[in-house]
Structure 1
Amino acid sequence: MTELAVFPDPYQGTRPPNRRRGGLADDVVLYVREQILTGALKPGTKIDQEALAAALDVSRSPIREALVILGQEGLLDLIPRRGAVVADLTPEDIVDHYELFGVVAGRAGAIAASTLDEDEIEQLRAIHDRFVDGTDDDLSALNWAFHRIINRTAPRRTRWLLRLLERSVPADYYEFTDGWNAQAVGHHAAILEAIVDRDADEARRRMEHHLHESGVAAVAHLERQGFWED
């Protein structure tokens, strides 16, 4: 079992504009989840709670609460008298998570194709044009803005679930996944085209494909990080 001795500086480059700090346990959940899903913490790594408390300047109570939440998510195994270790996630686990996200996001895409007005479509197109232009430094913020216009057309409970799923994937996707921005440009263009055409079924399908490919890219990144190496 790998021991975790030191955590990187907390929150360094980990939050897109919609991720405001919540409760202390929520902050710990976000931090550890991103450490796992970006490959910094590998399967079998034991979570050093003292190092985590020092890195995030929190007490042990929110850490224990956060570890329980991450255990319920399947990212950690909680072992009596031994603590928490990173679960033995498989590539299929990672892709499945993104595909689940895609099912809900696809529903929002279908609704957007039927309900967005012309002004909102122009906003979507303007954000996409900035993405294509490539001069913005914060691609994650543009990605968030693009999806926000689509997601806010969904019913209240669907929006809640989308926010929950959005927080469960790495925030700085465009910074840690090589070449993903080029793929995302094509995906977003296809989604936008379906919405402009008012083709709800195609918008759903293209959004689901976008999230599936996000999962594939995440697996490729983790493989490059040696996530599954012994």
Structure 2
Amino acid sequence: MQNSYNDDRAAGVAEHVSPPSLPRLARPRLHDTVVEHLRQFIVEGVFAPGTKLNERELCETLGISRTPLREALKVLAAEGLIDLLPNRGASISRMSEAEVRESFELMSGLEAFSGELACERITAAELAQIKALHYAMLACRAQNDLPGYYSRNQEIHDRINEAARNGALRQTYQSVNRRLQALRFRSNQQSGKWDEAVEDHEEMIQALEARDGKRLAAVLKRHLLEKRDAVLPLVSGDATGTRNLLNATHA
């Protein structure tokens, strides 16, 4: 029996991980927040790819019943963030190396197109909001606050996509981006990579202010491909390396 267990670990079988100790969800906000809470756990690496989720422990941790939890899991499964298998429950989805490469390549094109259109259609008020988010993001970087930085970072990208005012583009962008958020979060774990991302964002703001669509498209495309190159080693099939990276992040 011991040998079988060790063989499973060596083969990369997902280990059960208990949820963190977190404040319970307020009942009036339950339906609006449970998906958001679980999505944040996945993005920030609280649950590593391949982790099997324990419904009972999650319900106890969040102070909810199984019905809203299972509804939330269905939403996350539709987004491609978790896998729901009959008689096996829910586990965090693990993207293959090919899926990661192809998804980042697609996202680089979607973001570049968003940038071009945004430079044509963005309003002064929208630009001011993006600049305010940029300064807040820089403050988080100065405090080494990766979750705060990432939240504002992603809102900047999302606002640029919104400013493109193209419904079909937005729908595709949101669908692809949901699966990449956890990897985009991890791409800034090394200080050098984080600082390079900040420099890219400085250039994005400059291009937006100048309404230079070609320049913004080029910066966004490079930015996403650099993230692809930063995260590919994390999903090369080395499950141990992924766990070590997550342990280092939360140490």
With the length of structure 2 as denominator, give the TM-score of the two structures.
Answer: 0.63
Mapped pair 1:91 → 2:97: yes
Q: How does 1:58-97 map to 2 (within 5 A)?
A: 58-97=64-103
Q: Deviations over 1:135-155 (max 9, x none)?
A: 466434553564465334221
**CA gap 1:84/1:111 in 2 versus in 1, 3 angstroms:** same
Shift of 1:80: 1.5
Q: Is the 8 A contact 1:115 1:153 kept in 2?
A: yes
Code of the residue aligned with 1:93 in structure 2: it is: E
Q: Is the 8 A contact 1:3 1:47 kept in 2?
A: no
Partner of 1:226: 241
Q: Is the 8 A contact 2:121 2:165 kept in 1?
A: no
Shift of 1:51: 0.9
Partner of 1:4: 16
Q: Distance in 2 between matches of 1:126 and 1:68?
A: 35
Q: Distance in 2 between matches of 1:176 and 1:126?
A: 21
Mapped pair 1:139 → 2:152: no
Q: Distance in 1 between matches of 2:93 and 2:151?
A: 30
* Number of corresponding residues: 219
Q: Which has the higher helix share?
A: 2
| Alignment gaps of 5+ in structure 2 | 1-12, 245-251
Q: Deviations over 1:161-217 (max 9, x none)?
A: 656666652499389723243011221233234334543233223212223333443
Q: How does 1:92-131 map to 2 (within 5 A)?
A: 92-116=98-122, 128=134
Partner of 2:8: none
Mapped pair 1:212 → 2:218: no
Mapped pair 1:155 → 2:155: no
Partner of 1:23: 31
With the length of structure 1 as denominator, give the TM-score of the two structures.
Answer: 0.68
**CA gap 1:106/1:7 in 2 versus in 1, 3 angstroms:** same
Q: How does 1:164-203 map to 2 (within 5 A)?
A: 169-170=181-182, 173=185, 177-179=189-191, 180-203=193-216
Structure 1 SS opposite 2:91 = strand
Q: Percent identity?
A: 26
Q: Distance in 2 between matches of 1:51 and 1:146?
A: 35
Shift of 1:8: 1.0
Q: Rg bigger for which structure?
A: 2
Partner of 2:249: none
Q: Distance in 1 between matches of 2:48 and 2:60?
A: 21
| Alignment gaps of 5+ in structure 1 | 13-20
Output the aligned Cα RMSD.
4.1
State which drifts further: 35-44 or 78-87. Answer: 35-44
Code of the residue aligned with 1:227 in structure 2: it is: T
